[in-house]
Amino acid sequence: MSASLRATSSLGTTGIAAFRAPLVLRHQRYVSTRSSISGDSVAPVVANSPAEVKRAAASASAHSVVPTGVLLRSLLVTTVSSHPLLLGPSLSILSFLSKSRSLLLDVERNPLIYWFLRKTFYDHFCAGEKESEVHRTIQQIKSTGVKGVIMTYTRETVQDSRTEEQRFANANALEKAASTDACEHIQAWREDVLRTVDMLGPGDFLAPKLTGAGPKVTRAFAAGQPVPAQMVEALDEVCRRVVEKKARLLMDAEQHAFLGGIHSLTIDMMRKYNRSGKAVIYNTFQAYLKAAPELIAAHLKLANAEGFTLGLKLVRGAYMSSDPRHLIHDTKEDTDRAYDTIVRGILQQNYQGFGASPSCPFPATDLFLATHNIESAVAAHNLHEARVRANLPTCKVEFGQLMGMADGVTYGLLQLTGENQVNRAPPPAVYKCLHWGSMRECLSFLLRRAAENRDAVARTMTEHEALKAEVKRRIRAGLGRS
């Protein structure tokens, strides 16, 4: 692991106070900000009010491009997710099934359990178990107007932060790896990820889960030791194939216990592949971790010193139930503030001293915002557009949401264009993240998604109401034609 990254692993929120200003004023129709780099003010530009776009995202029109079958399934899942009396038992059942070793309760051997999960949670959140199913899902997603897809093969290891016990998503594979050379499991990971790369089109993303490579890799991550050479070679081959497909790679976020090793490997790949003035390889940073601002600063320092483009993907975080609580911000508001503060600094190219003076320039950076928060997304888009129009320094920014979640945000963003009819700006680049794999391999992922809906009750309720409105609209339209 790079020394500078090791030094940041225990850092807290030092320095974040300087960036607590909101990304943009939420209720202003015009965006006006001042560059802390040049001192020049940004000319007022017509922008999209987050409040107005939020209303649009919550409207039926944002879901008008969704196929009826998908719409009805989404309505069913959000009905469960928005009612605690239904969601609580569902979460308990999913958690129990993900840990059970009983053949009777095996999700792939019990046809009733398999059918129920497949027709509800799995098909809502996952793209398929076979390549043919995934290709159909990709075509359907792209037909709705998104720029592309982010593909993830959903095999991973989950570590209990209290016991440090690791639970592999595929128990059978873990037992096999334990009784043989674990490098066979790295080879299986390589083959599965390369199958995923084959599904990518130009401009799409791969988001590999490195913990899916088995116990030798995850134990090395957890212990701060180098991973087997075969794992480095496998990841390098994956990166080469991604480049050949004219795609890009977003290293997927995983638990804090594994992040040091994941960041180290990702930096090595960025050093090699991010040399053409644009990012091919992106690292993922989780804003709910208190150390995230300093960790990003450490990456900026390396990019400056070594001359590679930093690929920066920012998420809020999805491992609340397994990461140590003291590492996470105390409140959701603190996480939101940290997220928006990081985005503002990167887009203004003035972050913790980088870009503030010629002696500490801001390195070339490409930004990818994975967010289900409409205010954060629209504010980032507005700030980026304002700086572009004012010829002030900024970086490319793209957006992504998970399949089965925040469709109102996805299609609300796609409705954003400049209001100047002569020079109408294109909508933001928006992607959908698709997970695929067997039912057993996807259980931990499905459990996190269901829990995320529980923790975002207001957003889930908004999505549920928008889905109901769209279903009613289609029923009325159908009756009108009959």
Three-state DSSP at 278 gives coil
Give me the mean pLDDT over the 88-112 stretch.
Answer: 82
Looking at per-residue confidence, does 160 or 336 come out higher? 336
Reading the block at residue 3, the tokens are 């020394």
What pLDDT is recorded for position 177?
45
- Which of 407, 370, 438 lies closest to 67, judged by CA? 407
Q: What is the pLDDT of residues 446-473, one digit of tens each?
A: 887 777 666 665 667 777 788 888 888 8
- Read out DSSP for 299-328? HHHHHHHHT-PEEEEEE--S-TTTS-GGGB
- Whole-angstrom distance, CA of residue 160 vs CA of residue 453: 21
Amino acid sitting at position 335: T
Question: Which residue is associated with the tokens 């020079």?
Answer: 423
Q: Are 408 and 58 in contact (CB under 8 A)?
A: yes
Rg (CA), the chain: 22
Reading the block at residue 290, the tokens are 């208190």
- Whole-angstrom distance, CA of residue 80 vs CA of residue 97: 18
Ranges of beta strands (E only) in 40-184 are 45-46, 126-128, 148-153, 157-159, 166-168
CB atoms < 10 A from the CB of 283, how many?
25
Question: In percent, how much of the chain has pLDDT > 70?
Answer: 77
What pLDDT is recorded for position 454?
62
Label the pairing between strands 30-31 and 365-370. Answer: unpaired
Q: Is the pLDDT of residue 23 over 50?
A: no
Q: What is the pLDDT of residues 159-189, one digit of tens each?
A: 554 444 554 444 444 444 444 444 788 999 9
Write the class of the CATH domain 3-37+127-441.
alpha beta
What pLDDT is recorded for position 171?
46
What pLDDT is recorded for position 422?
46
CB atoms < 10 A from the CB of 409, how many?
27
Q: Is the pLDDT of residue 379 over 80?
A: yes
Going from N- to C-terminal start, the domains of the chain cover 3-37+127-441
- Whole-angstrom distance, CA of residue 300 vs CA of residue 395: 14
Three-state DSSP at 281 gives strand
Q: Is the pLDDT of residue 14 over 70?
A: no
| 113 burial level (CB within 10 Å; 0-12, 13-18, 19+) | middle
- Sequence-separated (6 or more) residues with CB below 8 Å from residue 132: none
Give me the mean pLDDT over the 348-364 stretch.
Answer: 95
Going from the C-alpha of 40 to that of each of 19, 119, 387, the distances in angstroms are: 19, 55, 11
